[in-house]
Chain A
Amino acid sequence: MHNVLVTGAADPLGRRLVEHLRQREGIGRVVGVEPATSSEWIEGVELVAFDADHRALVEFLNDNEIDTVLHCGLAPDRSGRAGGPREARVIETMRLGAAIAHPDVAVAAWVVASSTAVYPASSQSPLLHREDGDTATDEAVAGSLLEAEDYVRDVARRSPHMNVSILRLQQLVGPGVAGPLSALLSQPLLPAVVGYDALVQLLAIEDAVAALVFAAEIELAGVYNVASVGCLRWSEARRALGRPSLPVLPFEAGPLAPLARRVGIPHVPDGLLDLLRFGHVVDTAKLASAGFQPAYDQDACLGALSRHPDEVLSRAST
């Protein structure tokens, strides 16, 4: 790994990744990019057109002599930003893949940051989701991610000289991160779904960065779950954060959600209800046997939340 391209560089994960790589020994050039259509502009992040003919991307890769691409632009809530338009991100991924697979381009490793959102949260799920287990193919967010992952796998098949890995990142926590669970845990009053106490699992942003770098360095190939060590019950998480909780009924707020938010009632955001009823934990044994050990455990992740609640709150409300 010498010259690295990081996409999704305007989001917390991408930014942290670029920072980390620039301080790392043996790394040459580190370029952070966002698609030219992006509304985010951050100093130091270059805008590149992810066009249908991928010419701009191919040129960019070659001009910078990129040999490693870390794609954090696919799953916004795992790159730290609250969700963005799904279709656009799938298409960007496909165009990036086409550019990387271009015969004139010499990329040796492509790491894609996907999300554990591909797994369902349901009463029928196993306790720990494995990479080869059932995925939520008929759910909108998961469906888009899986479509992108399928495309990435196609590129890998057609380019045997390149090592392609897909890292399914768990719910991210860290400074500035505005993922779904992180935002929920940052509320001053935490919802407690009546009659349920499910297992949840967090991923410290530093562990996410380390996993992505690890995958690039050893040129990992395949699909891997990534999470910080352990898992914990929602009631434990609430206790550890020391915040009061309010019982909520196990129904989605639906049309009443904006009202509930205005009045300050902790409701469970749509899409998180099933997570809080049935849990959503992934098995990280596969990445562990490849040699990666996360440095943080769930308590440390919660600690990060206690220190930066305001920062996360202000980003989540936008």
Chain B
Amino acid sequence: MSGAPDRWGRDVGVGNAPFRALYRRWFRVEWEGLEHVPPRGGGLLVANHAGMLPVDGGIVSLGIEEELGRPVYSLAHHGFFRFPFVGNLLARTGGVVGHPDNAHRLLTEDKSLVLVFPEGQKGPVKPARERYRLQRFGRGGFVETAMRAGVPIVPIALMGTEDTTPTVTSLRIAGQDVPLTLNSLLFGPLLGPFLPFPAKIRARVLPPVHFDEPAGLAGYPRALLMDHAESIRDSIQRALSRMLQQRESVIRG
């Protein structure tokens, strides 16, 4: 079933079959706390980020669409959209350039669910010793986005994504720390990122955070934004730690 793409380029049912197989059989994704996702209206989904390919974005999108029937748009770095085919493919599954105006429009005009990863690139490229430790959540920009749009933030803790492409060590290449994954070691640098291990993935949705501040303001106090950002990061970290404690094995979950 494929209709015409919407203005964002999202096309229901396109190219999902192979990813669905990955989702169900390889990663065997399980959800908890779905009742915390608003059944209608805008909402900013916030999750921890890991894994070399944007697999976690796809997993959250597909999971929520399948379980709740609500489409999810993911904010992605504009760099991806510079490449032929990549941009189109991302857009078809709900990927949107991470511009504040786009986020605002999706949340207020379309009243959609929008997914962001506040760790940004710091998530996937963190060193091995930081396994399952959330990196800094930026300067609270995502909190401002939610406040300005007058929508709640729905934190989601993702367990297992890190183990699909685990970082073994970091190589210093051209002044940058480039993570070396076990996948790249085993399958080579070209294939490695595209062959994730079959770690069991669990997604736990935490209670939404509603803001008292009025929507639509030009700016919000920086200290307030950072406080909220830190508290949301903390709640995801604690949920993640609990999930890891209950995990029996990486593959079985």
Contact A196 B105 (CB under 8 A): no
Chain B residues proximal to chain A, CB less than 8 Å: 4-5, 7-9, 78-79, 81-88, 96-97, 99-102, 105
Which residues does chain B contribute within 8 Å of A278, judged by CB atoms? Answer: 81
Q: Which residues from chain B contact A133 at a C-beta distance below 8 Å? A: 101
Pick the residue among B8, B9, B99 that contacts A124 (CB under 8 A): B99
Residues of A within 8 A of B86 (CB): 195
For residue B97, which residues in chain A have a CB less than 8 angstroms away from its CB? Answer: 123-127
- Please determine whether A123 and B101 come into contact, CB atoms closer than 8 angstroms: no
Report B118 CB to chain A, min CB distance, Å: 19
When distances are taken between beta carbons in the complex, the residues of chain A under 8 Å from B100 are 126
A-B contact pairs, 23 of them (CB 8 A): A123-B78, A123-B81, A123-B87, A123-B97, A124-B99, A125-B97, A125-B99, A126-B102, A126-B105, A127-B96, A127-B97, A127-B101, A128-B105, A195-B83, A195-B84, A195-B88, A196-B84, A196-B87, A197-B9, A199-B7, A231-B7, A233-B5, A233-B9
**Chain A residues within an 8 Å CB radius of B105:** 126-128
Residue ranges of A at the interface with B (Cβ–Cβ < 8 Å): 122-128, 130, 133, 193-197, 199, 231, 233, 236, 250, 278
Name the one of B5, B7, B84 contacting A127, with C-beta atoms under 8 angstroms.
B7
State the total of A-B contacts with C-beta under 8 angstroms.
50
CB distance from B217 to the nearest CB of A (A): 16
Given contacts A124-B97, A195-B87, A233-B5, 19 further A-B contacts (CB under 8 A): A122-B78, A123-B79, A123-B82, A123-B97, A124-B78, A125-B97, A126-B100, A126-B101, A127-B97, A127-B101, A127-B105, A128-B105, A130-B101, A195-B83, A195-B85, A195-B86, A196-B87, A197-B9, A231-B7
A197-B88 in contact (CB<8A): yes
The secondary structure that dominates the A interface is: loop
User: In the complex, what distance in Å separates the CA atom of A195 from the CA atom of B97?
Assistant: 17
> B5: nearest residue on chain A (CB-CB)?
A233
CB distance from A196 to the nearest CB of B (A): 6
Contacts of B79 in A (CB 8 A): 123
Question: Least Cβ distance of B78 to chain A in Å?
Answer: 4
CA distance A194 to B86 in the complex (A): 11
Task: Give the Cβ gap from B53 to chain A, nearest Cβ, in Å.
Answer: 18
* CA A127 to CA B91, docked complex, whole Å: 12
For the complex, give the distance between the alpha carbons of A195 and B90 in Å: 12
Cβ–Cβ contact B84 & A194, under 8 A: yes
A318: min CB distance to chain B, Å: 34
Q: Which of A126, A194, A231, A233 contacts B99 (CB 8 A)?
A: A126
The answer for the CA separation of A137 and B113 in the assembled complex, in Å, is 34
Closest chain B CB from A316 CB (angstroms): 27
Q: In the complex, A128→B100 CA distance in Å?
A: 12
Contact A250 B84 (CB under 8 A): yes
Q: Which residues of A contact B4 (CB under 8 A)?
A: 236
